[in-house]
Amino acid sequence: APPRYRYYQNACTQSYSYAWWDWARWEREIDWMALSGINLAPAFAGQEAAWQRVYRSLGLDRSEIDAYFTGPAFLAWNRMGNLRGWAGPLPPAWHIKQLYLQYRIVERMRSLGMITVLPAFAGHVPQGILRVFPRVNATRLGGWSHFNCTYSCTYLLDPEDPMFQVIGTLFLKELIKEFGTDHVYSADTFNEMTPLSSDPAYLSRVSNAVFRSMTGADPEALWLMQGWLFQHQPDFWQPAQVRALLHGVPLGRMIVLDLFAESKPVYQWTESFYGQPFIWCMLHNFGGNHGLFGTVEAINHGPFAARSFPNSTMVGTGLVPEGIEQNDMVYELMNELGWRQEPLDLPSWVTRYAERRYGAPNAAAASAWRLLLRSVYNCTGVCVNHNHSPLVRRPSLRMDTELWYNTSDVYEAWRLLLSAGAELGSSPTFRYDLVDVTRQAAQQLVSDYYLSIRQAFQSHALPELLTAGGVLVYDLLPELDSLLSSHSLFLLGRWLESARAVATSDQEAEQYELNARNQVTLWGPSGNILDYANKQLGGLVLDYYGVRWSLFVSALVESLNSGSPFHQDQFNQAVFQVERGFVYNKKRYPAVPAGDTLEISRKLFLKYYP
């Protein structure tokens, strides 16, 4: 392979996808990584157990530690200093289970020739540190995203404070003693958090302090840092600030992940990260959302352009989705590009992909994939893949239905895949793709019905409103739900039951299930990051999205009937009760699929194919 590294995983994937994994699921993932040629990846499980030991040894008590750690579904943001306490605390059994998982993860990754990346201290500390060391110099950061200081505003130790080195080195020594090391460590001090000062000298001191706390425990330490912050807050991170942060570490002792390189590459405006090595990464997915999407032209050319950039310091390619188990083709493509010297001929590549994926050549399936390649998978310009479909968003009269592709290509791909069903129906990958493409077609149809609903309401046409609203709420959404319920990978029950399975008591099972439900819906106590991690799952479509749409249509009908205007604010308050009600409804959802995928897709097709 041309470059040294092929990297995989995002700090957020630990929560959006891996939160409830057992060893059997980890083992499959690590096998896939090996088969895909991945040779550099984080091993982040079990770190809270190590932190707990460090905090106890420093004098913190259990209540102070409990108030700091979030629940399992939100640990990614606790580790980056964004959140504290939300959906926690972590039960003692959680730590033990995660430790045992981590032993197996690092052992297997290393046995397959992978370099493991361990977490390091980024500077964030629990409030209890201020009680034990009253003279310590720590500053409270602002709130993150839409969270106020109840669950955010963590403390950041001043890099000059001697405790910074003490805590950082203590933690890393604890980890190395427990898990051994491959000398690569990850730390993100300012992920979506504005630094206290834009003075370049300050920023250099911070990165130098983080690096010294690594070398204090391991003189050979190499720091792997996510480069998300530079493109996320470009107003703050001007060239002088970027250079200062990067140059606080000796050249070659840091590797930067150019995290969103397919849409917003940072290497181009930083002279290749001012001499620090970097990995060209495809982010692709936010929040683990479903929805067909890709930027195939950008990823087919991007890594090669980066490698031939003047004085390029590129040392690898990477896959860094926030959530996995969606759009497999894009990840297969990106993995393949890590082994190539030049761009691929995409239409012929995707034709071979269809054959490999289904285990047999099929003209209709190949045509379907070429259509998908040129449409949903070919977003150009600055593409940010948050699924904004009205299906998975809180209803309003101002919803975004714009798309980057021609919807007729997806409908035609759906028709072609269905026609291949007789030949390929026994292939599990084919059945998965048929669900996914049918789901995409249904998602497009939801937008059409939404536009009809809005049009009918705005022109005071009650019969049309009742018709469009009725079809959406009483037929299309239930049909989509039954389609999703026919495949194990599209079941809400699978996500919830895997959360419960980690528990060692009924109380833990309830806490973990609330974590799992909240993450895919409200994302916070009051819908702080509402629907950011939306998924299209059997059970969720009917009992969450469907109920919201039902309430919305009823509110519009009521407004036309009574002649009083529709108030979005009032609706939002009412719909929040529905959303919150779903999180706490305690209904058990099946973790086993029901119904025949091909039959359900065909039924939807006969009813709805435009």
Cβ-Cβ contacts under 8 Å for 574 (sequence gap 6 or more): 551, 555
Give the CATH number, domain containing residue 201.
3.20.20.80
Q: For residue 437, tell me if it sits in a domain.
A: no
Q: For residue 423, tell me if it sits in a domain.
A: no
Give the β-pairing of 222-226 and 184-186. parallel
Last residue of a domain, one of 311, 344, 377: 344
Q: For residue 434, tell me if it sits in a domain.
A: no
Same domain, 126 and 256: yes
The pLDDT assigned to 108 comes to: 98
The pLDDT assigned to 208 comes to: 96
- Rounded CA gap, 37 and 7, in Å? 9
Q: For residue 370, tell me if it sits in a domain.
A: no
- Rounded CA gap, 445 and 401, in Å? 11
Same domain, 169 and 299: yes
Query: Is the overall model pTM greater than 0.75, yes or no?
Result: yes
Which pair of tokens denotes residue 458? 């705005």
Same domain, 330 and 470: no
Cβ-Cβ contacts under 8 Å for 69 (sequence gap 6 or more): 48, 75, 78, 84, 85, 88, 89, 90
Give the CATH number, domain containing residue 577.
1.20.120.670
Q: For residue 452, tell me if it sits in a domain.
A: no
The residue written with tokens 């188990």 in the block is 325
pLDDT digits (tens, 9 = 90+) for 478-495: 999 999 999 999 999 999
Same domain, 340 and 476: no
- Rounded CA gap, 156 and 139, in Å? 5
Q: For residue 256, tell me if it sits in a domain.
A: yes
- Rounded CA gap, 348 and 368, in Å? 13
The pLDDT assigned to 64 comes to: 98
Q: For residue 157, tell me if it sits in a domain.
A: yes
Same domain, 336 and 469: no
The pLDDT assigned to 1 comes to: 78
- Rounded CA gap, 33 and 318, in Å? 12
The pLDDT assigned to 35 comes to: 96
- Rounded CA gap, 504 and 94, in Å? 9
Q: Is 55 exposed, middle or buried (0-12, 13-18, 19+ CB in 10 A)?
A: buried
Last residue of a domain, one of 344, 372, 395: 344
Query: 10-residue block means of pLDDT along the chain (610 residues)?
Result: 92 98 98 97 98 98 98 97 97 98 98 98 97 96 95 94 97 98 96 91 95 98 96 96 98 98 97 98 98 97 98 98 98 95 97 98 98 97 88 97 96 98 98 98 98 98 98 98 98 98 98 98 98 98 98 98 97 98 97 98 97
Q: For residue 505, tell me if it sits in a domain.
A: yes
Range of the domain at 502: 461-608
Total of domains in the chain: 2
Same domain, 253 and 107: yes
Last residue of a domain, one of 293, 315, 344: 344
DSSP label of 253: S
